[in-house]
């Protein structure tokens, strides 16, 4: 007991306890923050993985490297999960057409089966976000709650009407009109381009479903209040008022002066 008491008074004891506390706290945070994603996707067959590897070597390894370990031209794909591949390839953003601030949507180069196979191969390399459950894509969530979540988490980039908006250095948040439910869910789960990752710990699957329901609701409602003016908010609306209003005033002034002369 005396020996233990002396060690507790040792100058390094406080530092050792602090280091142990930091390691314990960091380990627990990492474990709980990734618990919803650190699961291997077992929904694919061995055949899907094998065919996906062939497709990857032929079409993707030039940039992402053999084994998807990454190169100077492309990041590692180990641990990005099947959802990331399905989103990037399924929207035509990958393979990239050319280097730029961000990958842009274009016609897809792989069919659904090939996209699934590529996703299966990448999912086999490490745990990551899996393909979304079909039950979360039925547009039967709470649109009101989804609208609140969208305005808090997404509207600052995508616009309150989901019309998209400009970011810095040539980047942009795209319009969400016409985007499929699956790709919206996958974008939230994987955080493509400049978008942050909204894991299940941040926004639950049910809340993601609500957001998707809100987006599809406003998409089908159209614009009952009149012309949207691009849904760009007070800037475009104010510009329209100034141009149209001043045009009317100038036109009326010219008409008055022509009458008096």
Q: 188: domain CATH number?
A: 1.10.760.10
More reliable by pLDDT, 68 or 22: 68
Cα 19 to Cα 16, 27, 29, 41, 164, distances in angstroms: 5, 12, 15, 35, 45
147 in a domain, yes or no? yes
258 in a domain, yes or no? no
- Our count of domains for the chain comes to 2
User: How open is the CA angle 97-101-102, to the nearest 5 degrees?
Assistant: 60
150 in a domain, yes or no? yes
- 100 and 181 together in one domain: no
Please give the pLDDT value at position 241. 77
- Residue 157 marked as a ligand binder: yes
Left (φ > 0), alpha (ψ -120 to 50) or beta: where does 70 sit?
left
Average pLDDT, the chain: 85
- Residue 154 marked as a ligand binder: yes
**Can you tell me the mean pLDDT for 19-34?**
67
Q: What is the pLDDT of residues 81-95, one digit of tens each?
A: 999 999 999 999 999
First to last CA, the chain: 112
- Residue 145 marked as a ligand binder: no
Q: Is the pLDDT of residue 155 over 80?
A: yes
- 145 and 120 together in one domain: no
Q: Is the pLDDT of residue 113 over 70?
A: yes
At residue 52, what are phi and psi to the nearest 5 degrees? -65, -40
230 in a domain, yes or no? no
pLDDT-based confidence at residue 38 (cuts at 50, 70, 90): very low
State the pTM of this model.
0.74
Q: Is the pLDDT of residue 153 over 60?
A: yes
Please give the pLDDT value at position 68. 93
Q: What is the pLDDT of residues 119-144, one digit of tens each?
A: 999 999 999 999 999 999 999 999 99
Q: Is 189 exposed, middle or buried (0-12, 13-18, 19+ CB in 10 A)?
A: buried
Q: Which domain holds residue 69?
A: 46-125
196 in a domain, yes or no? yes
**Can you tell me the mean pLDDT for 54-58?**
95
């Amino acid at each position: 007991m005396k020996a233990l008491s002396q060690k507790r008074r040792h100058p390094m004891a406080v530092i050792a306890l602090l280091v142990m506390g930091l390691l314990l706290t960091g380990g627990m945070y990492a474990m709980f923050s990734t618990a919803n994603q650190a699961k291997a996707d077992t929904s694919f067959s061995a055949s899907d993985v094998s065919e996906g590897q062939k497709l990857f070597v032929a079409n993707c390894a030039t940039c992402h490297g053999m084994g998807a370990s990454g190169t100077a031209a492309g990041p590692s794909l180990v641990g990005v999960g099947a959802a990331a591949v399905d989103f990037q390839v399924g929207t035509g953003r990958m393979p990239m057409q050319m280097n730029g601030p961000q990958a842009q949507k274009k016609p897809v180069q792989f069919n659904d089966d090939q996209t699934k196979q590529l996703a299966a191969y990448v999912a086999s390399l490490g745990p990551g976000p899996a393909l979304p459950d079909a039950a979360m894509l039925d547009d039967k969530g709470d649109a009101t709650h989804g609208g609140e979540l969208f305005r808090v988490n997404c509207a600052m980039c995508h616009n309150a009407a989901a019309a998209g908006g400009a970011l810095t250095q040539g980047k942009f948040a795209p319009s969400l009109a016409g985007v499929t439910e699956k790709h919206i869910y996958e974008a939230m789960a994987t955080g493509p381009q400049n978008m942050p990752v909204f894991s299940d710990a941040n926004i639950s699957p049910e809340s993601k479903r609500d957001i998707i329901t809100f987006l599809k609701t406003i998409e089908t409602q159209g614009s009952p209040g009149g012309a949207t003016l691009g849904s760009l908010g007070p800037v475009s609306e104010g510009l329209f008022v100034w141009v149209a209003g001043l045009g009317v005033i100038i036109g009326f002034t010219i008409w008055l002066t022509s009458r008096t002369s």
